[in-house]
Amino acid sequence: MLFPANQFVVVVIFVQAHNDQEPDMMGGAGTIYSQGQSSFTRSLSSEQFTTPIDYRNITGEFIPEDHGFDGLLSVALPGYSRAMDSHMIQAMADLPDKFPFNEDYNSGYHLGIGWEQSTVHNGTQISSETGLKYLSVKTFDTVEFTQDAGEIIYTLSPAKEILLSAGSIRTPHILLYSGIGDADKLSSVGITPTVHLPDVRKNLTDHPRYALAWTINSTDTI
């Protein structure tokens, strides 16, 4: 079996591409957003936006048109309010220019303060293992590798099973070099296709996260 390093990315925050109207480092306005739209469309079909665990009315906390509701990957807003939430809401009301409210950062515009969306269902983190059930699991019993650019090929066939974990970046590399991926693209670079699987290397999503700390005169912060 071939596993990535983990099936969660930090705190499983669900983030789509930002619609940046300013020229970006790739050479044009909205380049990153337009390139991410195909992934966004696919995620809508796989997303199942669910009610948070406290079953509160979430009107005004997200934009339904920017989400899917019939997929397998559960996405939800925070389950319970915290003491600091009311202070943040008041700050946005008092200083809207400095702290603008963003109803849904997955609408294509990230800037502002809004409610976090995570791949969670009923208070439990959802991963590819729990959210995307395998209909069948293909296994292999032999691994080939080289340490000198292919001059000598080593073959390993253990008596029990092989668990190969290479991380979310290197796992696709191993799959592609093994001929598992888009058959046409593999053939174009001299790799013999073994399994036509076009989605390899195309569905990784990640998110930036920065923790900010303040000193306050209250112990009721969570």
Residues 57, 147 within the same domain: no
Would residue 172 count as lying in a domain?
Answer: yes
Would residue 113 count as lying in a domain?
Answer: yes
Average pLDDT over residues 155-181: 86
Any bridge partners for residue 180, and if so which? 195
Would residue 116 count as lying in a domain?
Answer: yes
pLDDT at 6: 45
Residues 27, 127 within the same domain: yes
- 14-38 burial, b if ≥16 CB within 10 A, otherwise e? bbbbbbbeeeeeeeeebeebeebee
pLDDT at 10: 55
pLDDT at 43: 64
Flag the least confident range among 71-80, 102-111, 200-209: 200-209
C-alpha 14/C-alpha 119 separation (Å) is: 6
What residue ranges in 47-184 does DSSP mark as E strands?
47-49, 73-75, 120-121, 124-125, 143-145, 154-156, 164-165, 180-181
pLDDT band at 185 (very low <50, low <70, confident <90, very high): very high
Residues 156, 191 within the same domain: yes
User: Residue 118 belongs to what domain range?
Assistant: 7-81+100-131
Two tokens at 155?
A: 């073959």
pLDDT at 202: 81
Residues 110, 176 within the same domain: no
Residues 77, 126 within the same domain: yes
Q: Which residue has the higher pLDDT, 144 or 103?
A: 103
Residues 127, 142 within the same domain: no
Mean pLDDT computed over every residue of the chain: 80
Would residue 184 count as lying in a domain?
Answer: yes
* pTM given for the model: 0.65
Domain count, the chain: 2
Residue 191 in contact with residue 31, Cβ under 8 Å? no
Residues 69, 179 within the same domain: no
pLDDT band at 54 (very low <50, low <70, confident <90, very high): very high
Would residue 12 count as lying in a domain?
Answer: yes
Residue with tokens 């050479």: 27
User: What are the tens digits of pLDDT across the range 3-44?
Assistant: 444 444 456 888 877 765 544 544 554 455 555 555 556 567
Residues 180, 70 within the same domain: no
Q: How many CB atoms lie within 10 A of CB 199?
A: 10
Residues 193, 210 within the same domain: yes
Residues 127, 197 within the same domain: no
Residue 179 in contact with residue 191, Cβ under 8 Å? yes
User: What are the tens digits of pLDDT across the range 68-93?
Assistant: 998 888 999 998 888 788 888 898 99
Residues 19, 43 within the same domain: yes
Q: Label residue 84 exposed, middle or buried (CB < 10 Å: 0-12, 13-18, 19+).
A: middle
Would residue 209 count as lying in a domain?
Answer: yes
pLDDT at 221: 60
Residues 42, 106 within the same domain: yes
Give which of 178, 49, 56, 171 is closest to 107, Cα–Cα.
49
- Rounded-to-5 percentages of helix, strand, coil across the chain: 25, 15, 60
Average pLDDT over residues 99-114: 89
Coil vs helix vs strand at 39:
helix
Would residue 109 count as lying in a domain?
Answer: yes
